[in-house]
Amino acid sequence: MKKALIFEGGWDGHEPKLVSARFRGLLEKNGYEAEIYSDLDCLADLERLMDLDLLVACRTMSEIKPEYVKNIARAVGGGVGLTGCHGGMCDAFRNDPEWQFITGGQWVSHPGGDSVQYTVNICKGSSPIVEGLEDFPVSSEQYYLHIDPAIEVLATTRFPTVSYYHISNKPVDMPVAWTKYWGNGRVFYNSLGHHDDVFDKSPAAQILMERGMLWAGGGKQYAADNGLSTQRFENDAKMY
């Protein structure tokens, strides 16, 4: 049975307990053993993390010890998947650039606040994760992010939607969901999920999240099946 660890907490406005419970249910439906922790000390034991198939971040606007980020970097680099949504992953630890490097992006604004009406545009053919999905409407925060140019974009949304200082610039298609790699590990992010009920109001958002979690959780087995070594990353890993 595959194993997942979900670490939750931070600002209650992002409903981390509800989102974590939803994600655990989705993972258990797909044959995972999933545990939820509200204390970041669950990230202290590297050997335990290396034994996982998937890490799920549901922690928002918090701080993290550098040694815990180092453990995550090594575990994910070794093949453990990393996934999360909204502020639970890409606004989890504003003080830690290494975390942002691993995840592929960082929230910087949500012009218009909550209940902005916008469209999520699926990048068809970008990944099996989005196969069969169509563009869909969302009423929630529309996330503006600073992103890693190496990410593989699976869905976007058009800015600007509301009037704010950024409208003086050209329109941009901001990534909503993406994948990337960290060593042998697979990383998936979905910027939807300000409140737990967005996954009920926009069912495609939950399909996207479920498929993304399962994709990320398959990286460790893929690395093992294909003899992918982590040796090439180890020397550089010692530098931070």
Give the DSSP letter string of 154-180. EEEEEE-SS-SGGGGSPPEEEEEEEEE
Instruction: For 182, list phi and psi in degrees, rounded to 5.
Output: -130, 100
> In CATH, what number is assigned to the domain containing residue 190?
3.40.50.880
Query: Binning pLDDT at 50, 70 and 90, where does residue 64 land?
Result: very high
Average pLDDT, integer, range 172-196: 97
Instruction: For 214, list phi and psi in degrees, rounded to 5.
Output: -65, -40
Give a yes or no: residue 141 inside a domain: no
SS (H, E, C) 177-202: EEEEEECCEEEEEECCCCCCCHHHHC
User: Three-class SS of residue 64?
Assistant: coil
Which domain does 213 fall in, by range?
2-106+176-237
Confidence (pLDDT) at 115: 85
pLDDT tops 80 at residue 177: yes
Confidence (pLDDT) at 234: 66
Give a yes or no: residue 157 inside a domain: no
**Of the given ranges (26-30, 86-90, 107-111, 224-228), which has the lowest mean pLDDT?**
224-228
Give a yes or no: residue 194 inside a domain: yes
* Residue type at position 35: E
Average confidence score pLDDT of the chain: 95
Give a yes or no: residue 189 inside a domain: yes
* CB-based burial, 173-183: b 16+ in 10 Å, e otherwise: ebbbbbbbebb
Tokens standing for 42?
A: 């669950």
Confidence (pLDDT) at 233: 72
The C-alpha atoms of residue 171 and residue 183 are separated, in whole angstroms, by: 33
The C-alpha atoms of residue 8 and residue 193 are separated, in whole angstroms, by: 14
pLDDT tens sequence across 136-170: 999 999 999 999 999 999 999 999 999 999 999 99
Give a yes or no: residue 186 inside a domain: yes
Beta strand 116-122 with 136-140: parallel, antiparallel or unpaired?
antiparallel
Q: pTM here? A: 0.95
Number of compact structural domains in the chain: 1
Q: Any idea which residue has 């563009």 for tokens? A: 135
* Residue type at position 68: Y
Give a yes or no: residue 44 inside a domain: yes
pLDDT tens sequence across 100-141: 999 999 999 999 988 899 999 999 999 999 999 999 999 999
